[in-house]
A and B are shown apart, each in its own frame.
Chain A
Amino acid sequence: MTDTIETPTAAPKSRFAKFWDSDFAWSFRHSPVAIIASLVVIVLALAAIFAPLIAPYNPFDPATLNLMNGFTPPRTPNAFTQETFLMGTDDQGRDVFSTILYGMRISLFVGVSAVLLAMIIGVILGLMAAYFGGWTETIIMRIADVQLTFPAILVAMLIFGIAKGVTPPEYRNEMAIYVLIIAIALSDWVQFARVVRGAALVEKNKEYVQAARLIGRGSIPIMFRHILPNVLSPVLVIATISLALAIIAEATLSFLGVGAPPTQPSLGTLIRIGQGFLFSGEWWILFFPACTLLALALSVNLLGDWLRDALNPKLR
């Protein structure tokens, strides 16, 4: 075969057209699961972001609360006030639909922030470990190994417990959300660091990195300009799966009472509250938050699953 240059026959395609025609976009267009999952995620995320506009009540404004409305079943008029609620009300007369919207806001905020923080820490440490090797690598990966032996949820609990001991009681509720973010992020960075290190070790030995070193580029440009763009696809997959895990971890911690405080209830806190009423027949207080949590975690997981297959062509 002789070396020939393809002469461009058609006019150059726009960036979007190129992307639309790529294998990645193609596999998305042909996966109903991926399309539905991403739609669910988008709808839920928008609902959470615009909760104050959508929610019929502000569950945190005591002025709008009426204890008489307590325990109203879904779509049935309350015996005293004749008000109807889409998903019923809880013991304090809060509209369950509104609390879910606000709760999802907190769940998503904690989940996304924790994953971003974990990603930044993990990617930087993973790149450093792979690129510098030697002592840097030994120290970073030993810490990662030790931490990995401890399950994320336990690490998060410990951090939460320590933070609770350190912060003065009057700030505890205010700080709780941020402590939660840091606790989840610190328990999750190891995944990113390991994946990035593994991928970067492969990339580091490729000749384009040596070519860049030969030109004289320093460590930082090589790590971030050359290696990082080539290890991003596994990072993206881990980030998606981690988001589902972080949402679940947040819900679990809040359920156990070591997460979001009752003044700022997340989905997990709502389930914790609802659990007490399940056996007395007020099923809706638990049922709707639980379904929302499942829908959120499941669609993020489905997206992550699809993403992993789409970005790893040899699996197809």
Chain B
Amino acid sequence: MFAYIVRRMFQSVIVLLVVGLVAFSMFRFVGDPIDNMLGQERTQADIDRLRSELGLDQPFPVQYFKFLQGAVQGNFGVSYRQGRPVSTIIAERAPATLELAFVSGVLAITLGIALGVFTAIRRQGVAANVIMTVSLIGVSLPTFLIGILLIYIFSVELDLLPSFGRGETVMIGNWSTGFLTTSGLKALILPAITLGLYQMTLIMRLVRSEMLEVMRADYVRFARARGLSDRVINFRHALKNTLVPVITITGLQLGSIIAFAIITETVFQWPGVGLLFINAIQFVDIPVMAAYLMLISVMFVTINLIVDLLYYAIDPRLRVDARAT
């Protein structure tokens, strides 16, 4: 058990170091930071001074090490565009994205698994086939179109829900939450559905195909031959075996919720880190891009670690390392 976790953590650290290298290379080689920070009127002395201030005259490994040191402390330098520390900007914006991701993640997982199981069990049923066909439309509909569609119906035509922004927020410590006000909750509905819908269809289709695969396994046939009821076979045997692959992919899907938040935030002008990132790309604001990259990789790595642990809890073949006798 311990060795397993240590090995996983070790791998996670390597992933972070590699991502750090990519982020750092962006800093170093994409565009000249000096160009970006100094205006047109500059002297060679200014350039040299800034160069040594930023440590750009030092060898590559030393710079990389310094970058990592900064990254660990949450220090990613100053945004080229806003002129403020990147860490401050991200801290302001993170709660918006995290709340949105949380709500749509819960939505996607619960509905996705429930519908997936339903369509797998009632394979031949009319309802299941309708759901499957609709889900294909869901997969073919880009997230941004879903968002526009929802805005058009619920904000423009019906005028029920706000079409942009977070509504009123309440500060709890450094965390600004939209969960505690009516307008905050109302503002959350459309973006959460937009973001969750696509992930939900993916999870549902995955659960369905994995479950159908498991239902063809010999042990399910044998369970049937032993006269176990369909309920026990479906929800005890098939579902538990389905969960093993589903957990892995669901973990990955949760990761992509953070990424797809970029699109949702753009459509709804949601003031989160995704919107920040897309603006950073348009203006080649490298420090913000690098920080965002590091931030979400930490998140992905954490999600993966949790997935691995869940895996470990479900599958006894990983737990017991004894030879068969």
Contacts and interface: CB of A to CB of B under 8 A. Distances in A.
**Do A and B come into direct contact in the complex, CB within 8 Å?**
yes
Interface of A: 146, 148-151, 153-154, 157-158, 160-162, 164-166, 244, 248, 251-252, 255-258, 268, 271, 275, 278-279, 286, 290, 293-294, 297-298, 300-302, 305, 314-315
A270 to B, nearest CB: 12
Contact of B156 (A271, A279, A294): A279
B148 A286 contact: yes
Contacts of A271: 144-145, 148
Contact of A294 (B145, B260, B262, B263): B145
Contact of A153 (B260, B282, B300): B260
B31 A165 contact: yes
Given A252-B263, A256-B278, A149 B142 contact: no
Interface stretch (B105-113, B133-141, B178-186, B238-246): B133-141
Which of the four size classes fits the interface of chain B? 35 or more
B119 interface: no
A301 B202 CA distance: 13
A255 B144 contact: yes
Contacts of B259: 150-151, 153-154
A298 B140 contact: yes
Interface in B208-249: 212, 216
A297 B152 CA distance: 22
B131 to A, nearest CB: 14
Contact of A252 (B137, B139, B142, B289): B142
B286 interface: yes
29 contacts: A148-B252, A149-B15, A151-B256, A153-B259, A154-B256, A154-B259, A154-B296, A157-B262, A157-B278, A164-B284, A165-B284, A166-B29, A166-B30, A166-B31, A248-B140, A252-B142, A252-B143, A252-B263, A255-B263, A256-B266, A257-B282, A258-B282, A271-B144, A271-B145, A275-B148, A278-B152, A298-B136, A298-B140, A314-B216
Contacts, number: 109
B18 A146 contact: yes
Nearest to A281: B156
Contact of A157 (B137, B281, B284, B286): B281
B210 to A, nearest CB: 13
Contacts of A301: 136, 139-140
A117 B212 CA distance: 32
Nearest to A297: B140
A165 B33 CA distance: 11
A105 to B, nearest CB: 19
- Give the residue among A146, A149, A271, A275 with the most B Cβ atoms within 10 A: A149
Given A255-B144, A271-B145, A314-B216, A161 B15 contact: no
Contact of A149 (B31, B152, B255, B266): B255
Interface string B269-294: 00000000110111010100100010
Given A166-B29, A258-B282, 10 more contacts: A161-B280, A164-B284, A252-B142, A252-B144, A255-B266, A271-B145, A279-B152, A301-B136, A301-B139, A301-B140
Given A146-B18, A294-B141, A161 B256 contact: no
A315 to B, nearest CB: 7
Nearest to B141: A294
B262 A154 contact: yes
A257 B278 CA distance: 9
A258 B148 CA distance: 19
Interface in B100-139: 136-137, 139
Closest 10 CB pairs of A and B: A151-B256, A165-B30, A297-B140, A151-B259, A298-B140, A154-B259, A161-B281, A165-B31, A149-B300, A165-B284
A257 B266 CA distance: 10
A287 to B, nearest CB: 10
A67 B301 CA distance: 53
Interface of B: 15, 18-19, 26, 29-31, 136-137, 139-145, 148, 152, 156, 212, 216, 252, 255-256, 259-260, 262-263, 266, 277-278, 280-282, 284, 286, 289, 293, 296-297, 300-301, 304
Contacts of B145: 271, 290, 293-294
B29 to A, nearest CB: 8
Contacts of A162: 26, 30
A165 B212 contact: no
A244 B30 contact: no
Contact of B136 (A164, A165, A268, A305): A305
A158 B293 contact: yes
B301 to A, nearest CB: 7
A149 B137 contact: no
B141 A151 contact: no
Contacts of A248: 140, 142
B164 to A, nearest CB: 11
A150 B297 contact: yes
Contact of B255 (A150, A244, A257): A150
A258 B281 contact: yes
A140 to B, nearest CB: 14
A157 B278 CA distance: 9
B266 A161 contact: no
A251 B281 contact: no
Contacts of B256: 151, 153-154
A42 to B, nearest CB: 17
Contacts of A256: 144, 262-263, 266, 278
Nearest to A299: B140
B300 A150 contact: yes
A294 B145 CA distance: 9
A298 B266 CA distance: 24
A290 B136 CA distance: 16
